[in-house]
Amino acid sequence: MEVTIRDLPPERWPEAGAMAGRAFWTEDYMRPLGEKPIELYATVQDVYLGMEIGTEGSVTLGAFAGNHIVGLACITPADACFFCGMDPDAEPDGDNPIARYFHEIDLAIRRLHVELPPHANIGPVAVEPTLQHRGIGRKLVEASFARAAGDHPPTVSLDCHPRLLPFYESLGFRPIARVTDPWGFEIVGLRREPEPA
């Protein structure tokens, strides 16, 4: 069966969010969210199911096997980068420790973006864990870059775990900086320039 990439309808987000939660819950940077595996899994599921998609100008692409979602990638245009729009002095909403945790990670990622020219951003990118290493992520990133580059921003950014750096470099992205979040996890910032218009 061929995997196709197309816009993810907003009403399909619960299925896509659950898939993203499965893809990310075992990542080392998620460990601070729960001591026991079931607690951690449930917390990460809640995070991705509660994620807002479809903010103004953004697009979420889905990788579909038939009608089943097997991957996703979010794209924000040059004038709507979430990280660049953050107030570095603002506190997270409320006393929610999970919101505080992600706020601190987002501030670390923001440091990767502040020196960039206006840019589109890709992320998160997730593939169903049982289907990874089959080219789905590559198809998603290629389609996401083509979509982001279609508006001719000066550059397209993406942030990743260091172990994914060779994968993104093979797709034409180059590392520009690294930051360490408050819990000691490293994040790599990458960029790729679109072809001139």
Q: Is residue 187 part of a domain?
A: yes
The mean pLDDT of 51-75, rounded to a whole number, is 89
50 assigned to some structural domain:
yes
Provide the 3-class DSSP secondary structure of residue 83. coil
pLDDT at 80 over 70: yes
Residue range 122-135, pLDDT digits in tens: 999 999 999 999 99
Model pLDDT, residue 54: 61
Provide the domain limits for residue 149. Answer: 3-192
pTM (2 d.p.): 0.93
Rounded Cα–Cα distance for residues 124 and 160 (Å): 9
Question: Which of 136-140, 168-172, 193-197 shows the lowest mean pLDDT across its residues?
Answer: 193-197
Q: State the pLDDT confidence band at 57, using cuts at 50, 70 and 90.
A: confident
Q: What CATH number corresponds to the domain at position 105? A: 3.40.630.30
pLDDT grade for 92, boundaries at 50, 70 and 90: confident
Say if 172 falls within a structural domain: yes
Mean pLDDT of the chain: 93
Number of domains in the chain: 1
Asked, for residue 197, whether it belongs to a domain, the answer is no
